[in-house]
Amino acid sequence: MRYRVQHITRYAYGSPVELAAHMVHLRPRTRPWQTVISERIVADPLPARRRDGLDHFGNHVTWLFMDRPHADFEVTSESIVDVDYPPPPAPGDTPAWESVVRAAGSPEGWQAAEFQFGTAMAPVDDASKAYASLSFTQDRTILDAVLDLNDRIYTEFRFRSGVTSISTPVSQVMVRREGVCQDFSHVMISGLRGIGLPARYTSGYIRTKPPPGQTKRQGADQSHAWVGCWLGPDHGWIDVDPTNGIVVKDEHVLLGWGRDFSDVSPVRGVILGGGDHAVSVSVDLDPVDQHPGA
């Protein structure tokens, strides 16, 4: 599936910003199953200096430096991406989850090991560990257990925006059993790490569809988050979406991954001045006809 993605983030400041430095994770990542046909990032006002590179995790990152007073700031990311996720292995063909925990601590698991430990936003939490443990019974194959946990979060937690913020701790989400995709991803990652499995936070987009008979609203698609879990050296990583209870497939577009949200925040930075500010985000993820006229 080929998609055209546009992501616009706008900041309106209460007073002019004198200086600013922004770090932007808005350029899709190339993978064997995801090809970036084109991409660009445009900032308004134009930055005095821009630098593009890779972060510690191999994600594309852009640094924007502003040295003139400005009352507004807008950054737009546009890309065209081909997505063709491979099917997951059969759950019964994956190893027991306990063997994956052991493999993560061995030389063959060195690339996954850094995702095995708690972080500020996805800590090793007693409640999430106990919750995950209900799926990870003795000798159960890892993918079977991961899919069970993914489905339980989808069915037992309620999607409700506005009741949490990105700083809401996992422990509170476990009590409330409600939140948004970032919350559910952090809960699942926290539970997996609690039992010793490497898990990473993945940032990107998901295609949304309008209700039957209605036209899709511009800007109504979503930034999204989901979970990568390591299945061991033979099978590598699988991505699952606890917000929707599915294995990630061709309606997801990947930006990047990290230990938690803070590693892949779409736009973050430091400003001098600005006072109170308002932020708005508009996302469009539209399929592209690869064979016009066919």
Question: Using one digit for the tens of pLDDT, what is the confidence trace for 67-86?
Answer: 999 999 999 999 999 999 99
Q: Is the pLDDT of residue 293 over 80?
A: no
- Composition of the chain by helix, strand, coil, percent to 5: 25, 40, 35
The single-letter DSSP state of residue 220 is: B
Q: Name the residue with tokens 């700031």.
A: 73
Q: Is the dihedral of CA 274, 278, 284, 285 positive or negative?
A: positive
Q: CA-CA distance, 56 to 123, in Å (whole number)?
A: 20
- Taking residue 18's Cβ as centre, other Cβ atoms within 10 Å add up to 14
Q: Which pLDDT value is given to residue 212?
A: 73
pLDDT tens digits for 102-125? Answer: 999 899 899 899 999 999 999 999
Using alpha carbons only, give the angle 207, 213, 219 rounded to the nearest 5 degrees.
35
Q: Which pLDDT value is given to residue 186?
A: 98
Give mean pLDDT, residues 43-72.
97
CA-wise closest residue to 152 among 139, 137, 134, 138: 134
- Give the helix/strand (H/E) hosting 115: none
Q: Which pLDDT value is given to residue 208?
A: 81
- Give the helix/strand (H/E) hosting 101: helix 97-104
What stretches of the chain adopt beta strand conformation (E)? 2-24, 34-44, 49-54, 60-66, 70-83, 158-159, 178-179, 199-206, 222-230, 237-241, 246-247, 252-258, 267-273, 277-287
pLDDT tens digits for 206-232? Answer: 988 776 766 665 545 778 999 999 999
Report the largest interatomic distance among the alpha carbons of the chain, rounded to a whole angstrom.
61
Give mean pLDDT, residues 174-186.
96
Q: Is the pLDDT of residue 251 over 80?
A: yes
CATH architecture type of domain 2-83+265-287: Sandwich (2.60)
Q: CA-CA distance, 165 to 159, in Å (whole number)?
A: 13
Query: How buried is 62 (Cβ within 10 angstroms: 0-12 exposed, 13-18 middle, 19+ buried)?
Result: buried
Give mean pLDDT, residues 271-286.
92
Cα-only R_g, the chain = 20
For CATH 2.60.40.2250, the residue range(s) in the chain are 2-83+265-287
Q: Which pLDDT value is given to residue 294?
A: 39
Q: Assess contact for 221 and 208: CB atoms under 8 A.
A: yes
Q: Which pLDDT value is given to residue 217?
A: 54
Correct CATH for 91-249 of 3.40.50.10490, 3.10.450.50, 1.10.1610.10, 3.10.620.30? 3.10.620.30
Locate 43 and state its tokens.
Answer: 């900032």
Q: Which of 34-43, 59-68, 275-284 has the lowest mean pLDDT?
A: 275-284
Q: What is the mean pLDDT of the chain?
A: 93
Q: What percent of the chain has pLDDT over 70?
A: 95
Locate 15 and state its tokens.
Answer: 């007073």
pTM above 0.85, yes or no: yes
For CATH 3.10.620.30, the residue range(s) in the chain are 91-249
Give mean pLDDT, residues 153-171.
94
